[in-house]
Amino acid sequence: MAAGAATTPVRIVALGGLGEIGLNLMVVECGGRAIVIDCGMMFSDQPALGIGAYVPELAWLERSHLTIEAVVLTHAHEDHIGALAHLLRRFNVPVYGTDVTLAFTRRRLTEAELDEPADLRTIVPRGVFEAGPFTVEPIRVTHSTPNSIALAIRTPAGIIIHSGDFKIDDAPVDGEMFDRERFAQLAEEGVALLLSDSTNVERPGRSGSESSLKPILRELTSRARGRFFLSAFSSHLHRIRQVVEVSREFGRRVVPLGRRIAESVRLGIETGQLNFPPGMFVTPGEAEFLASDHLSYLTSGSQGEPMSALAKLGADTHPRVRIEHGDVVVLSSRYIPGNERTINTLVNRLYRQGAEVVYDAVAPVHVSGHASQDELAELISLTRPRYFIPIHGEYRHLSRHVSLAIAAGIPEHNCFLLEDGDSLVLNGIGAHRGMAVEAGRVIAEGVDQGDPAVLGERQILARDGTVFAILVIAAQSGRIVSGPDLVSRGLVSGDGTSEHMRRAKDEVSRRLGALAGPLRANEPRVKEEIVRAIRNYFSDELGKRPLIIPYVTEV
């Protein structure tokens, strides 16, 4: 496509999702006005420190003084909608998404208890809407959630296509096809830039169709002498739909087990994605009156989440349901990296309870919702973009996707590998890298959200433990009347009788004795000397730097 005349520059700014899996957030800006595409969270790689999830750092967006015209959501997964409340607390802007996406978003925002109700606006594929200087057109793609979309954004610098998460499924469960025709039509107009999902770029060929799972689910259900359990992500309505269809064939009622999965079933019914006769779904209480071989259960916890229904079943602590011999349990999801040990522990526990456990390593009970190499190349061929940016992936994914794009015919100098904080400027004549901006992640956990000191203290506690030092000083004389007494946790024996604790106490006493003049509890030098003495001792003797908490009082 030939270059045109110079126009008002359009800048693409990546604030999340480029260099990691999750945390997706992209800003498209022109003349001080912008739209945000997706606002997702990322599960923590440090759950042992009590960190459940991260959300994108928004400091640059707050300081930029951009007028944000809209947030546009591509689909209902947590890594694309999970941080929306974090953004809406700072920017009260309209949010656009399809009906299914907004149903899950509404649930997320209700849990977040925003001060003001969100302005949620429903969009449909090929239904064009305006947002500041941009004209946005949703385009239907196939993915593991219904009504997922890509975006064609008309800007002064040309058409930008953002793929969202996608694969090209030629036999989707709901019959809603990937819109090849519309992508090809946009190519005829001329696509300036394609931003494309990189998650499965390492996989050759094409990703399997979601509907290919139905015969496998049918076979597994047929051999269950007792109950059939399936655990998948709660937003995976296509998979839930297939479980219900197979269960109906075998005369089984379906029991949503767990608050999150029950709410997803309710949302599926409301949006028409789970259109089944009344009585097909029953509550756990109603299930107690039905025979085991007439029941299928949908559960949360396929990643081994400790408080999930499936984890409670494995530990035999669920208040209403127990695993029995003859039950079949299917973990219908991929292992998220870092969860392998937890999931393997869960599988072992389920086996001990007497279940037959089926998971991706032993049977094809999961298909990916992301495009593999041939589908990625097909999207490039359909859209014929002038410029290309890989999105949604770790660095190795982005790098391999650039190589794939070059092999598909995009000149190497027109491919840009961006990471979080990087930007690209389009001006109608060409494209070049813009100035980098501040980007990163913060902890998603209430009032301490984003405080690096909290995380640092937790890391110290996990690695080196803590020491409490207690000292009592006479108010009149300024002399020590009690202590120093040392108590440790996670370092050495904490009752003060260990050799190290005795010697550390002697060192503190020696250092305090060397201080001139009467001591006072409110003097910084007293606490500083206590901390310095304990830290130096354990660093020299054990190579540890525990968190030290001095407590000094007067009587």
- Whether residue 516 is predicted with pLDDT greater than 80 in this model: the reply is no
- Whether residue 168 is predicted with pLDDT greater than 70 in this model: the reply is yes
- Whether residue 317 is predicted with pLDDT greater than 80 in this model: the reply is yes
Q: Residue 215: CA atoms inside 13 Å, Cβ hemisphere, count?
A: 3
- 340 CB contacts (<8 Å, ≥6 apart)? none
How far, CA to CA in Å, does 525 sit from each of 145, 333, 514, 528, 531?
A: 60, 57, 12, 5, 10
DSSP state of 393: B
Q: What is the pLDDT of residue 402?
A: 98
Distance between CA atoms of 266 and 261, rounded to whole angstroms? 9
What would the mean pLDDT of 196-223 be, rounded to a whole number?
96
> What is the identity of the amino acid at 22?
G
Q: What is the pLDDT of residue 474?
A: 80
Q: What is the pLDDT of residue 448?
A: 44
Of the spans 2-16, 422-436, 463-477, which averages the highest pLDDT?
422-436
Distance between CA atoms of 431 and 424, rounded to whole angstroms? 7
Q: What is the pLDDT of residue 33?
A: 96
How far, CA to CA in Å, does 366 sit from each of 27, 145, 147, 208, 237?
A: 33, 14, 20, 9, 14
- Name the pLDDT band for 3 (thresholds 50, 70, 90): low
Q: What is the pLDDT of residue 468?
A: 84
DSSP-derived secondary structure for 461-497: HHHH-EEEEEEEE-TTT--EEEEEEEEEESSS-TTS-
What would the mean pLDDT of 52-66 be, rounded to a whole number?
87
Q: What is the pLDDT of residue 454?
A: 59
Note the pLDDT tens digit of each residue in 396-434.
999 999 999 999 999 999 999 999 999 999 998 899 999
Residue found under tokens 């190519």:
187
CA torsion angle for 169, 171, 176, 182 (degrees, to 10)?
Answer: 50
- Whether residue 45 is predicted with pLDDT greater than 70 in this model: the reply is no
Domains belonging to the chain, first-starting first, are 10-205+368-448 (3.60.15.10), 210-358 (3.40.50.10710), 465-554 (3.10.20.580)
What would the mean pLDDT of 330-346 be, rounded to a whole number?
79
Note the pLDDT tens digit of each residue in 130-144.
999 999 999 999 999
Distance between CA atoms of 12 and 15, rounded to whole angstroms? 10
Q: How open is the CA angle 242-246-248, to the nearest 5 degrees?
A: 115
- Whether residue 47 is predicted with pLDDT greater than 60 in this model: the reply is no
Q: Identify the burial level of 61 via C-beta atoms within 10 angstroms of its C-beta, where 0-12 means exposed, 13-18 middle and 19 or more buried.
A: buried
Distance between CA atoms of 152 and 138, rounded to whole angstroms? 6
